[in-house]
Amino acid sequence: MQQQEVIYAFVRELEVRMEHPLKIHQHDEYYTIFPEDKDYILIFYSKNASHRIDSSLVRTFHIDIDQIQTSSSKILHRLSALLGRGKAIYARQTVVARIDKKVAMEFQQEHHLQVALPGKYRYGLFCNGELISLAVFSGGRHMRDIPETERSFELLRFCHKSDLRVVGGLSKLIRALAKDFNPYNIMTYVDKDWSQESNLTTLGFAATGTIPPQRFWITNGERHYIANEQNLQLLQEKYPQGYLKHNSGSTKLVLIL
């Protein structure tokens, strides 16, 4: 399908999920999609879009056309959950347990938008024997700004099963890690394409910095991270039909335990 057809088909399906109509405004390099009350806004960027658009709305979601083409279902599920349409399950209804790398990787590949990571420690929430939520952590690291004997852990990935919201789920997963390893703090990075004000602050996380936008070379439905200019040149030579994209960067958050 052509770019416009892909976007309109996506919006029609989202309207069904949200149970309200959405307005579509087409611009030169992007589309804006929002409900009548403008409670949230989606900004879909075309292949030739050169920059991200500023929005005053807290609930603004920035999505590139290649992501819709390759991960349409995941994006629909995630938007449904973030906008309150997912089925809610309470953490008290679940059991927390360590899970192996294979299970964690498969769960991420099915439900997470970003590349799956094995991490060092993996915890899952189970409801009636089914894995419905996952957190992947790094091993403990010594950081210069914490006591010599303490260790910091990174929350690398966190996701629920599609169309579900596990209320209190992340808190329960963090408590499980804390019980096993007693970390000094837990840090994570929140994608600003999807979150201008992270709800992790309600758990006690505090913003401590930002990461500049990351660049990607897009080709054949794949995103190749660009580490530096030399890397970009190599990607351009290897995939001459590709094109350049960047995200909005990330916010670094830290939870002191």
Q: Are residues 205 and 241 in the same domain?
A: yes
Predicted structure pTM score: 0.91
Asked if residue 199 and residue 170 are part of one domain, the reply reads no
Q: Do residues 56 and 114 both lie within one domain? A: no
- Per the structure, the count of domains in the chain is 3
**Is the pLDDT reported for residue 57 higher than 80?**
no
Task: Supply the CATH number for residue 164's domain.
Answer: 3.40.630.30
User: pLDDT exceeding 70 applies to what percent of the chain?
Assistant: 99
Examine the fold and report which residue of 162, 183, 204 is the final residue of a domain before the chain moves on. 183
Residue 100 and residue 169 in one domain: yes
Please write the tens of the pLDDT for every residue from 186-209.
999 999 999 877 789 999 999 999
Residues 71 and 151 in one domain: no
Boundary residue ending a domain (35, 69, 85): 85
Same domain, 49 and 110: no
Q: For 86-137, what is each residue's pLDDT tens digit? A: 889 999 999 999 999 999 999 999 999 999 999 999 999 999 999 999 999 9
Choosing from 59, 85, 111, the residue where a domain stops is 85
With a cut of 80, say whether residue 56 has pLDDT above it: no
- The two structure tokens encoding residue 202: 């309600």
Residues 6+ apart with CB under 8 A from 254: 185, 186, 187, 205, 206, 208
Q: Answer positive or negative: Cα dihedral of 232, 190, 138, 118.
A: negative
Same domain, 192 and 235: yes
CB 146 within 8 A of CB 185: yes
Same domain, 197 and 215: yes
- Pair (57, 103) in one structural domain: no
92 with 170, same domain: the answer is yes
Token match 């794949």: residue?
Answer: 222
Q: Kindly state whether residues 77 and 10 are assigned to the same domain.
A: yes
Pairwise CA distance, residues 157 & 218, whole Å: 23
d(CA 137, CA 174): 9
Containing domain of residue 219, as a range? Answer: 188-257
The model's pLDDT over 157-188, given as tens digits with 9 standing for 90+, comes to 999 998 889 999 999 999 999 999 999 999 99
Residue 1 has a pLDDT of: 64
Whether the CB-CB separation of 165 and 88 falls below 8 Å is answered with yes
| Residues 107 and 130 reside in one and the same domain | yes
The average confidence (pLDDT) of the chain is: 94
Please, what is the angle between helix 65-82 and helix 3-18, to 10°? 10
- Number of Cβ atoms within 10 Å of the Cβ of 123: 23
User: Helix or strand or coil: residue 129?
Assistant: coil
